[in-house]
Structure 1
Amino acid sequence: MTEPLNPTGVIARLATLRPHADAVVDDHGRVDRAGLQTRVRRADGWLAELGIGTGARFGLQLGNRIDTVALLLAAWSRDATPVNINRRYRACEVAGLVRSHDLAALVTEQDRLEEFDEIVGDGRGLAGHAAAGVTVVAPIRDRPVPATRVEYALLTGGTTGAPRLVAWTLRDIVLAAMYPRSHPDVSPDPDVLVRRSASGGERTLVAAPMDHAFGQWVTLAVLLGGGTAVLADRRPLDPEHLLALAERERCDAMNVSGQAFAGRLVEALDGGAPAPARLRQLITGGAPTLDATKRALWQHMPELEIVEGIGSSETGTLGRATQHASCPGSLAPRFVPTSGTMVVEDDLSAAEPGRLGRLARVGPVSLGYLDDRPDNRFAVVDGRRMAVLDDAAGLEPDGTFLLHGRLDRVINTGGEKVHPDEVETVLARHPEVTDCVVVGVPDETFGQRVVAVVKPAGPTFDEETVRRFARSRLAGYKVPGRMVVVAGIPRLDSGKVDLAAARAIADRGREEQAP
């Protein structure tokens, strides 16, 4: 009988084949594959001492570190469930998650223990490696007992509201999000995965944070592919450090969170930072990357392949778009769908090419949310589980798909529907615009009015010139009636736009211009 598809088991088997190959590098050190197994056993001891076993959940509030990887693998080996917690969350926010999701322990950094004094029990903790920011596993006071057994859990970033805990089986999350990109297809057989990864894989710098899905998934995919994960943990983002780290560690690929990270890399390169000699691939996700940023990257690294991914906590990876410097015209990504990805009509039937529908996936998708809040994202169609997103997409005749923005972001102005992503794409093509986000603000006459929050490319910004540019490419009702200039677009740690902050900026601008 074939063993279950568990990342811990696969990575342990790969360690026996090439024990001295680099496995994980972080800002504090490095471990080879055998050394990673030693760290996993130590992390397993921490969890065992606190009684965290089958069915128990614990909060994991660490960044891109070897200990993060070791604790994930140790937890899955003992049927416990780590829950990612944003490192920016403060004590009151973490306390809410502890209550909501039955967390039995908190893994954090030692210098934060005092902050969490009201949450963790009697100061008892188990220290990790002796480096800056020592890892501590601390028990929760009055430890709760989870009502539902979950193999893999992911706390969403709250893009569309309050964060929610998404439940998966380990098998399905590997197939949907952690399977190595270099493999020709996806197989649920761990023997196939080990055989394909036995000879080793790429050295990938992971800059996206591991307390979010994208960074975690890429790290595990690299290790399951037999490669080396180079974890960058400096916050705030230090682009010069990323480039130097990629050069020092001879990285073939780098993973970043969309425009927020890629734009900073361009600034560093423009400022004289040398491009890494071996870097051939930039993997972006979590948020779009602007056309101008891609072309600027190619000015410094003409051979660079830019791979944009699209996915969600509920579906895993839905598609990838690969682009090169030779790509003509618009660089709007045309995504090649992963297995099971489709565009559906409102009745969940498959949409025909040319029609706008909702992005969905059948097959290996999440089990749903671990809360009582209503949702309409999951269904069973023809006996197969389907997850349906609020992302508008259009299927192309060649089988690729284009994104048309989130349906829950659509602006209704005077009865006309405006997709902000379409407007943002046009604005970003103007040389005076470095970055932007388009939102709707309340309007007594039209219900909502289209407003752009813009980061200009230089010290001056001619709003009317940019508006004329947009008007020549968009219907009049889509053109922003006003543009609010800012020093930087507000973004979450994941790289996604902080829409609540952007709307607040647009609203303040509206109030300032009111008669």
Structure 2
Amino acid sequence: MAQNLADLFEHAVDAVPDRVAVIDNGRHHTFADVEGRANRLAHLLAESGVGEGDHVAVHMHNDVDALVAFLASYKLRAAAVNVNHRYRVEEARHVYSDAAVRAVVTQPDHADVAHAAATAIGATVVVSGTELDTALEAQSSERDFGERRDDDRFLMYTGGTTGAPKGVIWNHSDIWRVLGGGIDFYSGELLADEWQQSRSAAESAAAGATQGMRFLMLPPLIHVSGLLPSLGALFSGNTVMYEPRFDASSVWDVVARQEANILVITGDAMALPLIEELRSRAAAGTAVSVPSLLAISSGAALFSPALKAQMLELLPTAAISDSIGSSETGFGGITVYSSADTSFARSAYSGGPRVPAGRGATVIDDDGVLVDAPGEGWFAKTGFLPVGYLNDPVKTATIFREHDGVRMVVSGDRARLESDGSITLLGRGSQVVNTGGEKVFVEEVEGHLKAHPGIVDATVVGVRDERFGHRVAAVVSVVGPAVDFADVEAHLRDRLAGYKIPCAYWVVDQVQRTPSGKPDYRWATEISRGGAPTHDRLHPAT
């Protein structure tokens, strides 16, 4: 056997076949159910010509069949290709073509786009629903596949906010170690072998436990922050729950009804509407009661300290875990917060997350030398790493480097090594505003903006300036019909140097984000170029 994602899932199936693996919009599916359907789909894909090393596009929103499509691909030693279900034809065609997919698995809602995008490359399109159910009935549910390997290819497309999506290639054993539970996230200890997760599930079942922990997965499965936590939970015999779309007004009902233990989110984009829903219900006298909820787990996007504190105030018995990482680095560190200590929310810096160093996480300077004293540099990761980018050796050589014989990935995030040895992420190097020679990391400004009670959400960008090259600006959504920008400026001046304070604001009904919850900087830049700002402190209206 191998440290392969398909094998790891099959270990869990053998350990606890009758446990509920997936709750999909209220429907329960056991491990045996999911296994049988994944085997049938794998056989159907094999009939269409999919085999070892081929690529299968998974163009779907969250449901049990989306998970099954990933598993079926891995069972064939094929690489599943995640495709954003919001893509239009040209965007989907780019990913299909770049990955040279042999087959596409999609849903009726996205079938028209999938068919149009697949035509140019002659890929087979499989659409879930009644037609797929009928086709699968004719397929075997047996697990009669060949032996798999540690280095079978795992492919995850990333990007789209700063450029065209690009495929990151991992070996199965490495992606399992960093994001699938093959390492203890808190201690950094490696699991003994690929059986340890399923052994724990079998032992709990032998002790009388009929179910494991229940994870409500809100991030999309087509993002690493949704897929890998799902797989890691399943490998240990736990249950994952999916809803067709993120809807803050129903999430708390689902948590209560399905007795979720862990709520998985992506930063502020999900935390903010969830907090607003909690407050709205409390004000209406229908406060949420979720005694089963133990923790809110966030990753892949900024979770502002101010919002963490608000969430803990509303749910004082739950903890918050905030982790850093990316498709290129995998897991980079985690910090846990509780209502017993919210001092982090009052710290002078409210930008990106701060995590303990170690587990391969480090900071390097512009010359690639490890930073061994407090100071700024680039976030880097050693240890279990991707092979590189698909079809892009130049980009691979730029991001994946070697220093003193140690291979590392330098993801483009600016970071600061703190005096206590921890690492604070400052923001993407590509999202730095250079204003008169001073560098402003937009996530730092966004964090402080969202800490103001009048600001709901914010995305910070640079706007052209004749004197300084660029100045800092922000696209924001606000509480109520208006916000006092003089008060916002006073709030920021207590926390930021003057050159970091936005000179102009564009107020919108809702700040747009990507499906993974990350800021959509291209959209915000277009907003800033599309018309006069709502508030301009340098050129006030007369």
Do Structure 1 and Structure 2 share a fold, with TM-score over 0.5? Answer: yes
**Matching residue of 2:219:** 208
Q: Distance in 1 between matches of 2:194 and 2:28?
A: 26
1:106 aligned counterpart, secondary structure: strand
Q: Is the 8 A contact 1:25 1:229 kept in 2?
A: yes
1:86 aligns with 2:84: yes
**Matching residue of 1:249:** 258
Q: Is the 8 A contact 1:199 1:226 kept in 2?
A: no
Q: Distance in 2 between matches of 1:338 and 1:153?
A: 26
**Cα distance, 1:135 vs structure 2:** 11
Q: Write the letter of the residue equivalent to 1:83.
A: V
Q: Distance in 1 between matches of 2:129 and 2:30?
A: 16
Q: Is the 8 A contact 1:209 1:233 kept in 2?
A: no
Deviates more, 1:297-306 or 1:182-191: 182-191
Aligned counterpart for 1:428 among listed residues 429, 434, 450: 450
Q: Extract unaligned runs of 5+ from structure 1.
A: 138-148
Q: How does 1:106-145 map to 2 (within 5 A)?
A: 106-120=104-118, 128=128, 130=130
Structure 1 pair 433/107, CA: closer, same or farther in 2 (3 Å)?
Answer: same
**Matching residue of 2:324:** 310
Q: Write the letter of the residue equivalent to 1:319.
A: G
**Matching residue of 1:410:** 432
Q: Distance in 1 between matches of 2:34 and 2:94?
A: 33
Q: Distance in 1 between matches of 2:530 and 2:486?
A: 20
**Matching residue of 2:174:** 172
Q: How does 1:136-285 map to 2 (within 5 A)?
A: 151-179=153-181, 185-187=189-191, 189-199=193-203, 201-234=212-245, 237-272=246-281, 274-285=288-299
Q: Extract unaligned runs of 5+ from structure 2.
A: 137-150, 205-211, 282-286
Q: Write the letter of the residue equivalent to 1:45.
A: H
Aligned counterpart for 1:290 among listed residues 304, 321, 324: 304
Deviates more, 1:377-386 or 1:107-116: 107-116
Q: Is the 8 A contact 1:109 1:136 kept in 2?
A: no
Q: Write the letter of the residue equivalent to 1:176.
A: V
Q: Is the 8 A contact 2:435 2:469 kept in 1?
A: yes
**Cα distance, 1:396 vs structure 2:** 2.5
Q: Write the letter of the residue equivalent to 1:435.
A: D
Q: Distance in 2 between matches of 1:36 and 1:128?
A: 15
**Cα distance, 1:398 vs structure 2:** 3.3
Q: Write the letter of the residue equivalent to 1:364.
A: F
Structure 1 pair 125/470, CA: closer, same or farther in 2 (3 Å)?
Answer: closer
- Please give the per-residue CA displacement for 1:366-418, whole angstroms capped at 9, x wherever unaligned: 11111237331111234332101211112234332111122221111112222
Q: Write the letter of the residue equivalent to 1:228.
A: T
**Cα distance, 1:511 vs structure 2:** 7.3
Q: Write the letter of the residue equivalent to 1:165.
A: G
Structure 1 pair 182/329, CA: closer, same or farther in 2 (3 Å)?
Answer: closer
Q: Write the letter of the residue equivalent to 1:418.
A: V
2:471 aligned counterpart, secondary structure: strand
**Matching residue of 1:145:** none
1:477 aligned counterpart, secondary structure: helix
Q: How does 1:413-492 map to 2 (within 5 A)?
A: 413-492=435-514
1:321 aligns with 2:341: no
**Matching residue of 2:376:** 356
Q: Distance in 2 between matches of 1:125 and 1:403?
A: 41
Structure 1 pair 206/135, CA: closer, same or farther in 2 (3 Å)?
Answer: farther
- Please give the per-residue CA displacement for 1:451-470, whole angstroms capped at 9, x wherever unaligned: 12222223221112211221
Structure 1 pair 349/41, CA: closer, same or farther in 2 (3 Å)?
Answer: same
Q: Distance in 2 between matches of 1:198 and 1:77?
A: 22
2:394 aligned counterpart, secondary structure: coil
Deviates more, 1:328-337 or 1:218-227: 328-337
**Cα distance, 1:345 vs structure 2:** 1.6
Q: Write the letter of the residue equivalent to 1:161.
A: G
Q: Distance in 1 between matches of 2:12 and 2:444?
A: 45
Structure 1 pair 433/119, CA: closer, same or farther in 2 (3 Å)?
Answer: closer
Q: Write the letter of the residue equivalent to 2:256.
A: E
Q: Is the 8 A contact 2:115 2:125 kept in 1?
A: no
1:176 aligned counterpart, secondary structure: helix
**Cα distance, 1:506 vs structure 2:** 2.1
**Matching residue of 2:207:** none
**Cα distance, 1:473 vs structure 2:** 2.5
Q: Distance in 1 between matches of 2:153 and 2:16?
A: 28
Deviates more, 1:216-225 or 1:332-341: 332-341
Aligned counterpart for 1:53 among listed residues 45, 51, 54: 51
- Please give the per-residue CA displacement for 1:217-260, whole angstroms capped at 9, x wherever unaligned: 111111122211111222xx211322111222211101111111
Q: Distance in 2 between matches of 1:412 and 1:116?
A: 40
1:424 aligned counterpart, secondary structure: helix
**Cα distance, 1:17 vs structure 2:** 2.0
Structure 1 pair 29/135, CA: closer, same or farther in 2 (3 Å)?
Answer: farther
Q: Distance in 1 between matches of 2:338 and 2:36?
A: 41
- Please give the per-residue CA displacement for 1:346-365, whole angstroms capped at 9, x wherever unaligned: 22222124111111111111
**Matching residue of 1:146:** none
**Cα distance, 1:290 vs structure 2:** 2.7
Structure 1 pair 14/165, CA: closer, same or farther in 2 (3 Å)?
Answer: same
- Please give the per-residue CA displacement for 1:291-321, whole angstroms capped at 9, x wherever unaligned: 3322332232111211111111111111112
2:103 aligned counterpart, secondary structure: strand
- Please give the per-residue CA displacement for 1:328-355, whole angstroms capped at 9, x wherever unaligned: 3333442134621111122222212411
Q: How does 1:500-515 map to 2 (within 5 A)?
A: 500-510=522-532
**Cα distance, 1:88 vs structure 2:** 0.6
Structure 1 pair 456/299, CA: closer, same or farther in 2 (3 Å)?
Answer: same
**Cα distance, 1:286 vs structure 2:** 2.2
2:421 aligned counterpart, secondary structure: coil
**Cα distance, 1:129 vs structure 2:** 5.1
CA RMSD of aligned residues (A): 2.6
Q: Is the 8 A contact 2:15 2:199 kept in 1?
A: no
Structure 1 pair 270/134, CA: closer, same or farther in 2 (3 Å)?
Answer: farther
Structure 1 pair 134/314, CA: closer, same or farther in 2 (3 Å)?
Answer: farther
Q: Write the letter of the residue equivalent to 2:390.
A: L
Q: Is the 8 A contact 1:309 1:319 kept in 2?
A: yes
Identity of aligned residues (%): 32
Q: Write the letter of the residue equivalent to 1:265.
A: L
Q: Write the letter of the residue equivalent to 2:195.
A: D
Q: Is the 8 A contact 2:105 2:126 kept in 1?
A: no
2:323 aligned counterpart, secondary structure: strand
**Cα distance, 1:134 vs structure 2:** 7.7
